[in-house]
Amino acid sequence: MRLVYLLLFVLSSSSTQAQTAPLRQQIDALFASPKPQVLLLGTFHFAGERVDANTTPAYLRVDIRSPSRQAQLGEVIKRIARFNPTKIAIEASPNAKQYIDSVYAAYRAGKFRGDKRVSEEDELYQLGFRLADRLGHRELFPIDAPPFRIRFSPVDSLTMFTKYEHQADSSFAFWDQQYTTYAKLQDSLKYHASVVDYLRFLNTDDTQSRSIGRWLVTTKRGTNREPIGADGFISRYYNRNLRIYSNIQRLITSPSDRILVLYGNTHLYILKHLIKASPEFELADTMDYLN
């Protein structure tokens, strides 16, 4: 009897698959049109990590201009160039487009060696300019964005936010210490690894998900009625990355576009989530080019 039931189950499953397969194909066909490809490359700040809150100690800062690091960086550029991007998007304000165009033109002419805004150690100079020049690009595209500036409603007042500033929760202190240790280990890994090996580490799913973990611990600040932690995360972190994503959308001029996005790795978890979910883009696998 059990054999009969098993046979009926198999036949029923086969029949269901035969009926649903064409429907699934129709569903897939709705989203199968040619799409621009996007390659996301998460980077660290080449200029010694002196621009963010998590500043690298001086003795662990990478000298990107040393002969060994230049050779390693050259290998990265060679690998990423295989993506053959039509546009390179960078972590800079769109308000700086004219300035970046001018210094990049000077760079291509051999007349720019860095200034106060774009140093020779900067990843924009060392990676963005060098890669764009290798590919014959005439410009780069700044896509950075500030977070939304909250206008408080009466129920979401500034007073309501500040009253939870010192809310007791042992997990905040615990995870803050864990992530402080994690940052120190990252600094050591970055110093001892080659540039390509460290970029491989940065661009793994685990590393990119951990990059927002520190802030997700804080989302439980407040109460069920006044969820200020969640609101702060949405308005400051998620909102900023959604704005960056919208700037990528506006770069598209053709289904054959291939957009390379060079960005600080802490942004990549959200950006990857948005690009992957979008019906407008095809997300390229970064490891196909780093390995």
**pLDDT attached to residue 4:** 55
pTM for this one?
A: 0.85
Q: What is the CA radius of gyration of the chain?
A: 23
**pLDDT attached to residue 159:** 62
A 10 A CB-CB count for 248 gives: 24
**pLDDT attached to residue 135:** 98
Helices 195-202 and 205-216 meet at what angle, rounded to 10? 60
**pLDDT attached to residue 261:** 98
Kindly state the tokens that stand for 103.
Answer: 């210094």
DSSP for residue 221: -
Question: DSSP string covering 1-58, please?
Answer: -HHHHHHHHHHHHHHHHHHHHHHHHHHHHHT-S---EEEEEEE--TTTT-SSSSPPPG
What is the C-alpha separation between 289 and 273, in angstroms, rounded? 19
**pLDDT attached to residue 198:** 97
Q: In whole numbers, what is the pLDDT of the chain averaged over residues?
A: 87
**pLDDT attached to residue 5:** 59
DSSP for residue 61: -
Pairing of strands 87-90, 282-283: unpaired
Cβ atoms of residues 41 and 286 within 8 Å: yes
pLDDT tens-digit profile of 113-169?
Answer: 989 899 999 999 999 999 999 999 999 999 999 887 655 555 555 566 566 667 767
Q: Which residues pair with 259 in a beta bridge?
A: 38, 87
Show me where the domains of the chain are located. 37-290
**pLDDT attached to residue 213:** 87
**pLDDT attached to residue 164:** 64
| E strand residue ranges, the chain | 37-43, 87-90, 141-142, 258-264, 282-283
Percent of the chain with pLDDT over 90: 59
Kindly state the tokens that stand for 100.
Answer: 């970046």
**pLDDT attached to residue 117:** 92
Question: DSSP string covering 157-226, please?
Answer: -HHHHHTTTT---HHHHHHHHHHHHHHHHHHHHHHHS-HHHHHHHHTSHHHHHHHHHHHHGGGG-S-SS-
Q: Which segments in the chain show pLDDT lower than 70?
A: 1-14, 48-55, 149-165, 168
**pLDDT attached to residue 152:** 52
> Residue 234's closest CA among 244, 222, 242, 226?
242
DSSP for residue 90: E
